[in-house]
């Protein structure tokens, strides 16, 4: 009888330090500093920042994309000089705020608690207030479209939410971080119709080479996460190869998408160093050159901190 193999939930070993400091431009510290699967130790935010720094990831963009996480982000970026923030209502949260009985974040019908009891307009208004009131919030995100988790009933709410977030990023002169899961056409159509903010980032880019070229031609930024290191993802590496290095960013999207060879284990900003090595080799530049370019671009997109 085959026994199910236990998943290794220990933290992957620290990679050797990058030769030049780099920004992890998309991470969810509230998930890894407070909630972890059983058996793993839970570092504090300060410990995550210190571990990341030792690996050469000296700064991070903390993304809070539901109301509790956005409020937490508002506070934490004031306490830690290494952090700036992005806030939004996630595309999978939008239908819940809109009161559409669709699916919750876990793919099941939403529980009463997940229906939130706060309307979509009201939720986005709170996001706007947080962004207006804190100059360390540097991006609106993650927002966009998700056809993987959300069925037909939720799409109108997602679309309305995405458009409102685009307008907010433009109004406040902030960068936009886009979540696009199985929704390339929808995302591109809305950007074409409404006009993208000046600094637009595809977080965890998942398109093909053709889409990468199209986005790069628009002057948008493509952020690569752990999947670009996975053996099966030659198509994603081809997409990365098609983008000028000056439009490439790196992220962990922790707690998800831990890079190879640590897939399935917990993820944290220090592991962006592993993904940076893949970015350098795919772009056929030295690791130092890749790091320097990503750092310059990160500060162009989010401003100095």
| Residue 272 C-beta: closest distance to Zn ion, Å | 13
Whole-angstrom Cα distance, residue 80 to residue 37?
25
Burial readout 276-292 (b: 16 or more C-beta within 10 A, e: otherwise): bbbbbebbeeebeebbb
Q: How many residues bind Zn ion (CB under 5 A)?
A: 1
| Residue 28 C-beta: closest distance to Zn ion, Å | 6
DSSP secondary structure letter of residue 151: -
| Residue 285 C-beta: closest distance to Zn ion, Å | 27
Q: Which of 66, 15, 10 is nearest to 43 (CA)?
A: 10
Position with the least CB separation from Zn ion:
253
Whole-angstrom Cα distance, residue 55 to residue 259?
15
Closer residue to Zn ion (CB): 65 or 98: 65
Closer residue to Zn ion (CB): 82 or 253: 253
| Residue 253 C-beta: closest distance to Zn ion, Å | 5
Regarding 102 and contact with Zn ion (CB under 5 A), the answer is: no
Residues 234-293 contacting Zn ion, CB under 5 A:
253
Closer residue to Zn ion (CB): 66 or 74: 66
Q: Which residues contact 211 (CB under 8 A, 6 or more apart)?
A: 184, 188, 239
Q: Which of 275, 269, 264, 267 is nearest to 225 (CA)?
A: 275
| Residue 217 C-beta: closest distance to Zn ion, Å | 25
Closer residue to Zn ion (CB): 146 or 253: 253
Which parts of this chain interact with Zn ion (CB under 5 A)? Answer: 253
């Amino acid at each position: 009888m085959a026994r199910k193999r236990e998943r290794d939930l220990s933290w992957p070993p620290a990679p050797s330090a990058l030769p030049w400091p780099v920004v992890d431009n998309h991470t969810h510290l509230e998930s890894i500093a407070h909630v972890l699967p059983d058996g793993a130790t839970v570092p504090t935010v300060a410990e995550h920042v210190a571990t990341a720094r030792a690996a050469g990831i000296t700064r991070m963009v903390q993304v809070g994309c539901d109301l509790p996480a956005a409020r937490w982000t508002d506070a934490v970026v004031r306490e830690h000089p290494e952090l700036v923030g992005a806030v939004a209502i996630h595309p999978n949260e939008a239908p819940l705020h809109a009161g559409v009985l669709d699916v919750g974040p876990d793919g099941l019908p939403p529980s009463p608690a997940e229906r939130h009891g706060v309307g979509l307009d009201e939720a986005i208004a709170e996001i706007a207030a947080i962004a207006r009131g804190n100059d360390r919030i540097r991006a609106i995100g993650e927002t966009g479209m998700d056809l993987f988790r959300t069925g037909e009933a939720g799409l109108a709410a997602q679309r309305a939410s995405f458009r409102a977030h685009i307008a907010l990023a433009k109004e406040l002169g902030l960068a936009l971080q886009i979540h696009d899961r199985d929704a390339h056409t929808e995302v591109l159509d809305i950007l074409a119709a409404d006009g993208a903010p000046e600094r637009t980032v595809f977080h965890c880019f998942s398109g093909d080479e053709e889409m990468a070229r199209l986005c790069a031609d628009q002057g948008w930024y493509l952020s690569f996460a752990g999947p670009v290191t996975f053996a099966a993802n030659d198509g994603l590496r081809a997409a990365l190869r098609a983008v000028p290095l000056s439009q490439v960013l790196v992220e962990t999207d922790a707690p998800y998408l831990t890079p190879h060879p640590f897939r399935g284990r917990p993820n944290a900003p220090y592991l962006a160093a592993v993904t940076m090595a893949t970015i350098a080799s795919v772009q056929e530049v030295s690791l130092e050159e890749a790091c320097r370019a990503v750092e310059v671009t990160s500060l162009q997109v989010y401003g100095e901190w």
